[in-house]
Amino acid sequence: MSNKPRLSESIGVIGTGIMGTALIRGLLKEKLVNPDQILAYDIINELLMDLVEETGINAALNNQQIVEQSDIIFICVKPQVFLTTLQKLQIAFTSDHLVISIAAGVPLSIIEELTGNSRCVRIMPNMPFQVGEGAAGYSLGTRNDNRDSEIVEIVFGSLGKVFQFPEYLLDAVTGLSGTGPAYVFVFIEALADGGVLAGLPRREALILSAQTVMGAAKLLLEQNVHPGILRDAIMSPGGTTASALQLMEARGFRSILIDAVEAATKKSQFLGQNNLSQSDHLV
Ligand SMILES: NC(=O)c1ccc[n+]([C@@H]2O[C@H](COP(=O)([O-])OP(=O)(O)OC[C@H]3O[C@@H](n4cnc5c(N)ncnc54)[C@H](OP(=O)(O)O)[C@@H]3O)[C@@H](O)[C@H]2O)c1
């Protein structure tokens, strides 16, 4: 028998766009729940029906049904429709519900205000959780119990790495891992361009580039050492790596990444502090 955790709770998903779909696929791939434990709704009926056909989950007729029939409810709509979506459901929520919002920039105070006495969690995941390699940070609200953090750690721990933070740090999580996959895609593409410039065929260059990023990350996480130790192991005196790194340092490669994370964090703070209608620019 497998020791993998499973959830006995019923799951509701409001919004089956990119992230809602990725979440459902991940839950099923990791066998955390059976398809018939999931009830989902999206205002784009075709999107919902395609997912139902693909995964065998249940389709709800509306969001009200999700709230009435689910123990754990994932809110996966864009921040700019968050308010209007939840306002209509407000009275259906009870303290038996665990509401997990993935909406960027929507503070816990607003999530709690819109969901009656329910227990609320705000989490900032990232897109690679659809392949089980996500990175997420979350914060608990004011009404949670220990089982709630256990559930979050089971779900997002099965789909990647997850850490609990005080809420003010979720902007930094947004700037680093929430938006980070986009920086890495640019890095992979540019690395492949370098390979093409050096004569490699495009397809192979792209695969070599992506595999190099994945392999290096896996090595670092598995060996749990400082990246400098692994870099030094590759960098032989007077060698090719030393020449490349000299150029990267001279062009400010590190500072660019540090500044990029800082810029995204500040933008997240700014949008979160302003009204929700501006938050559609988040992530
Ligand atoms: N994408 C990322 O990398 C990422 C990372 C971390 C967090 N997030 C957060 O994840 C959330 C979802 O993002 P996404 O990229 O998955 O957005 P998305 O692809 O637009 O998915 C949202 C879905 O919800 C639907 N919807 C809108 N109002 C609804 C309602 N009242 N009831 C049910 N469904 C409704 C949308 O339909 P319409 O298109 O017709 O509105 C759409 O199909 C956002 O809050 C975002 O901040 C995203």
Distance from residue 126's CA to the centre of ligand 1 (Å): 13
Q: All domains of the chain, ordered by start, with CATH? A: 11-166 (3.40.50.720), 180-264 (1.10.3730.10)
> Measured in angstroms, how far is the CA atom of residue 78 from the centroid of ligand 1?
4
Q: Is residue 103 within 6 Å of ligand 1 at its C-beta?
A: yes
Q: Which atom of ligand 1 is nearest to 279's Cα?
A: 47
Residue 130: the pLDDT is 84
pLDDT (0 to 100) of residue 283? 58
What is the strand order of the sheet 119-124 is part of? 58-59, 38-41, 11-14, 72-75, 98-101, 119-124, 134-140, 160-164
Ligand 1 within 6 A of 283 CB?
yes
Q: Is 60 in the pocket of ligand 1 (CB under 6 A)?
A: no
Using alpha carbons, list the distances in angstroms from residue 7 to 4, 21, 33, 54, 196. Answer: 10, 18, 6, 21, 47
State if residue 120 touches ligand 1 by the CB under 6 angstroms criterion.
Answer: no
Q: What is the pLDDT of residue 276?
A: 55
Q: Which atom of ligand 1 is nearest to the CA of 104?
A: 47
How close is the Cα of 61 to the center of ligand 1, in Å?
A: 18
pLDDT at position 3 is 72
- Quote the pTM value: 0.91
CA–centroid distance, residue 76 to ligand 1 (Å): 5
**In which residue ranges of the chain is pLDDT below 70?**
1-2, 275-283
251 CA to middle of ligand 1, Å? 38
